[in-house]
Structure 1
Amino acid sequence: MTAPARATRARSIPRAVIYVRQSLYREESVSLELQETSCREYCVRNGYTVVDVIPDPGISGRKWDKRPGIQKVLAMVDAGQVDRVIVWRWARLSRKGVHQHIAIDRVERVGAVVESSTEPFDTKTAGGQFGRDVMLAAATFESNQKGEQWREAHERRRRLGLPATGGQRYGYIRRIEGGNEWYEPNLDTAEILEWMYDAYIEGKGFAAIGRDLNARGVPNIRGSRWTQTSVAAVLDSGFGAGFLARAEYRGEKQISVPIGEREWLTGAQDPIIDEEKWSAYLSARHARTHMAPRTVNPRHPLSGLMRCGDEACGRGPMNRRKIGKHYTFTCVNRLRFGAGEPCNVMEVRVIEHLMAWLAELADDVGIAARTAREVRRAQLRVRSDADAARAELAGIDKELVELTRQLVAGRVPEMAYDAARDQLMAKRSDVERRVALAEQASVEPEQEPQELARDLLRVWDVLPVLRRREMLAQLIAHVEVTPGEPDSAGRGRRHASIRVVPKWESQ
């Protein structure tokens, strides 16, 4: 046989990629080896050349974007590297209807074919396509049914005052005897859990709490080091306060709900912290939710509050830097892009100016009266903004209801529905944040500005950095630094000017 003939024959042999996925469900968790063996035997019987075997081990069939294996398979198909995609059963492809059809469409669009080694159908015929679609629909039905069963099981546990997923909880010992399950406080970790709540209320952030626990050699529930995320998960759960969060669903999918929007149920476990401490935690959590990350665990009371006043640089933020033996605040945009005039100011000058401003606010009755009037006017403006945002939120909810009706009526395809719904939900999240920010700003301050300034001056040196930052944020929008004018003698620039912008002037 000539070389060209051999090449033509080689190209005529279909190239196959075998895709295997191991389910999370124990009763249908077929080993990857068994699936691969079945698929290889199928390829031998049909004269296919196996170019690769791509696994997705222990991944749910409903998680499309988190399955690197199936994404790699589709990339190979798009690149023209394979002619056949072989799966053990059609359910291995996906357990969600929309994902099944996306995969098949992408494969068939370039002339390739998806085949099952144990459920073979000639998909070139109408009958074969029907048989395949029946198997895919059955996989979707079974998945949805299991989802309903899991939800029912979770709801039953919650009715008993137990967490939906069982497992250990930090600060508690899980007991199971005679078919009964309960949680009792663990004397070794309950005190640590209470300290974690106290530390957050007093001003420490999640990351700082985790660092302290790791430094003391205190492991988390899994025996590992604490992270910012694991600390937040333990405290936000409310389990230590005797509560459980009601599960929320979007369709059959359970979704994460921000802590400020959760509905709390009374659990069967004895609380480790009392309701007063839990309420204090929620208040502190709400206050910090809308703070920039650098201000949640600030290293300086003016973190996030310093701003350049030069219009040429876009009035950018200012960062604290150490130059020699001294600290200065420097315009970020000037450093990064060379925009505007050089803008630097010594930290000690800023603090002196801030202390003088606070003292003037604390002592001057006339200023206190004017600021009180400005605060009231600002509150009215913020309330108006909140009302407008709530109206917009109601409009989005109406659009979501109408979109669902269109889907049920068959006027909107499922893929188009998913895309439109995701856009509306993203928009809704943005508006919800606006509502939350407006509501937070509209809350009447616990103290008048004059009284707050007086207290801040009195305890400035002993307060934690975060608490100083929080109190300052109630009084000032930012501290503006404007570059000094060039010196007439040509010896450089004059000192930059500093202006404290009160909160009530910026709203």
Structure 2
Amino acid sequence: MNSPHPAAHLVDLYLRLSVDREGKDSLDNQESDLRAWAKDAGLTVRKVWRDRGISGYKDVERPDFENALAALRAREVGTLAVWKTDRLSRRGAGQVGLVMDELETLGARIYFLKDQKDTSVPGDRMIIILLSEFARAESASTSIRVKAKKDKDRAKGRYLGGSAPWGYTVGDGRDGRPSDRKLRLHPEEAPLLREVVDRLLSDETMLAICRDFNARGVPTRRRGSQWRPSTLSATLRSPVLAGLQPEKRRDETSGKWSTSTEAWRDPKTGETVSLMADGAEPIVSESERLRLLDVMDSRLRRYGRGLRPVKQPKSLLGGVLVCASCGRTANTFGGSYRCRRWHSDGVDCAAPLNVKIDVIESAVLHTWAYGLAAMEPDSPVLDAVAEHWLRRYDPAPMQERAELMRDIEEVQAKVAAADDAHFVTGKLSADRYERVTRGLDDRLTALRVRLKDLPEPEANLAALLDPEISHPAILAAPVEEARALLRLAIKRVECTAAPYSGARFVRHERVRVVWVGTEDDDASV
């Protein structure tokens, strides 16, 4: 005979919606309906899991779906309540059947509210399987219809994106425009984009153009944002610049989508397809676009970057080192760390940082090792370092303590809700109030005893506080490990620009370290 489920009175709710929108199946409505059912069933809602804007049909990660099942497997709850079968999964009997078989051995169940089906009821299992297959078939059919419609529109040269690309307007039926989804030149933006192309083909840099646009107050589509080479490059590299239908392609080996777009070609004719409305000309011709791409790619090759999108390398001080003048983080270029605001974003900085990599990294590593060793035993910095050390290298004790604290807070909230329901609104009778609070008090006492019995987590920082050990160790560590060690203790490193070209680097004059566990004013060199 199976033993009673230890958490049979607890229920988790799982909510999912592929497109986050209002409506009868919105996440708020799903939760409201499920909470009402749980209350009528005499169950206590422990946690609500939400996968917002995530498909139940496609093979994509659904973190809260996995977390909800993990809670059932760990016997933290006895029931998982779902608004409808297709909210749990649209991948058919293969997935749902495996889940039901597993739950049967655990004595747990899933309840589907709108279908009024329960996986623990033998007669419901076959119906749940059929409903999940119907959901899978419906999704597959919808996917086929949507793909067919997109293929048809793509071949007719209709723009499939959302908002209009920069430099163009889209015929979307608004403001008296035709609803043909065709492109036409934007009266203000198109001449500016043409200017950019001409300047780049005349060997001007993208950074200089961005600075010029920002100085002139040329607006971007995002309110308050400024022009950056990265955003301008994405606009220029798109086939839409030449009025061509774009396409993102999936890598046949990895299955991942490419980060760049290419001109789509009609599979029947092999020709590119124009998005332009009748009588409208694109900003550049297709041959001009190819010449522009060649110019942009040749510049990337000149700096040894190749043709793939440039990502910030895992430098030792990436995300930690900031320009003292403007507060923007620094990134590496060649042999230096440079103010990202000035050298990458093209935005003004009064005194942009430019410091050699080996010089600044050596200074920071020295400050890290010898600065920690000089801390007083009761320093708040060492307390913060110990906490970070435990979180990274020995997280289990802290996680257990944090989980117990969360459980205690949840029970206390339930006690407060019961008090309110009895003494304020009168919705809870005296007998039921006594039964509810008695159980909650017992639960609260047990949790507090468990918390009291837990040993205090302790971090052994002896090696970290001995510079004769820590300094050689961090110098020899791989970049990823050295970064992790630095960030145990350092919140931010501020570095000023050199007072003049060729000036000798003086660490205590140019470097300011902000330690963890301190206010920004408490810093050292």
- The normalised TM-score by structure 1 is 0.49
Structure (1 or 2) with the greater helix fraction: 1
TM-score, structure 2 normalization:
0.48
